[in-house]
Amino acid sequence: MIIEKVLGNIYKDDLRSGHVEKIYLNSEDLVKRIMRVKTDHGKEIGIRLDGHSDLEDGDVLYKDEKNMIVIYTNKDDVISIQPRSMLEMGDIAHQLGNRHLPAQFEGEEMFVQYDYLVEELLTQLGIPFKREERKMKKAFRHIGH
């Protein structure tokens, strides 16, 4: 079976079905346009996407009356940064931007993939952070020039 488009997302659309087969991907795989994967039931699936959007956690690749095949992302090793002020946010955003590190934001938190150098920098600057395993909804993507 070759999948060429995403049908929707179980977290955003009303796409419930009886049986769900899962494809587990690492977040860096969400940006790939072409890949071969296996479901948790051992079914081999080819993915060949056309559009410009990345895959996301919960994307539905196949659906019929009884079954669905859905993307689930594995947890990432991330640093959750919780700046206490705009000054701290500006400082750390500038520092991480100089290192060209991709970041994601949820609420008042900034997330970057774990890197011991970032951990040392945050400790030196006294900016609150924690290292954690977290399921990210989207891939960490470097911004093109």
CATH number at residue 91: 3.30.70.790
> Is residue 145 in some structural domain?
no
Sign of the Cα torsion 44, 48, 54, 56 reads negative
Q: Within this chain, do residues 41 and 101 fall inside the same structural domain, yes or no?
A: no
Per-position DSSP letters for 11-24, written without gaps between them: TTS----SEEEEEE
Do residue 13 and residue 63 come from a single domain? Answer: yes
Inform me whether the pLDDT recorded for 143 exceeds 80: no
- The fraction of the chain above a pLDDT of 70, given in percent, is 97
Going across the sheet that includes 44-48, the strands are: 2-3, 44-48, 34-38
Question: Are 82 and 128 a contacting pair, CB within 8 Å?
Answer: yes
Residues 59, 118 share a domain: no
The CATH code of the domain that includes 10 is 2.60.260.20
Residues forming beta bridges with residue 132, ordered by sequence position = 78
Do 55 and 112 lie in one domain? The reply is no
Q: Would you say residue 14 has pLDDT above 90? A: no
Contact 60, 10 (CB under 8 A): yes
> What pLDDT is stored for residue 53 in this prediction?
77
Cα 56 to Cα 10, 48, 127: the distances in Å are 10, 15, 30
pLDDT of 144 strictly over 60: no
Looking at the structure, do residues 57 and 106 belong to the same domain, yes or no?
A: no
pTM for the complete prediction? 0.74
- Tell me, yes or no, whether 91 lies in a domain: yes
Number of domains in the chain: 2
Residue 119, both tokens: 């951990």
**Is residue 144 one of the residues assigned to a domain?**
no
Q: Does one domain contain both 80 and 59?
A: no
The string of pLDDT tens digits covering residues 88-138 is 888 898 988 888 888 888 888 899 999 999 999 999 999 999 999 998 877
Find the mean pLDDT for residues 74-80: 94
Q: What is the pLDDT of residue 145?
A: 42
pLDDT of 142 over the 70 cut: no
Give the pLDDT band of residue 18 (cuts 50, 70, 90). Answer: confident
Rg (CA), the chain: 18
33 & 90 share domain: no
d(CA 110, CA 132): 13
Q: Which domain-ending residue is among 73, 92, 126? A: 73
Final residue of a domain: which of 47, 73, 99?
A: 73
Per-residue pLDDT at 46:
94
pLDDT score of 79: 96
Domain range for 8 is 2-73
**Angle of helix 116-125 relative to helix 86-98, nearest 10 degrees?**
150
Give the three-state DSSP class for 94: helix
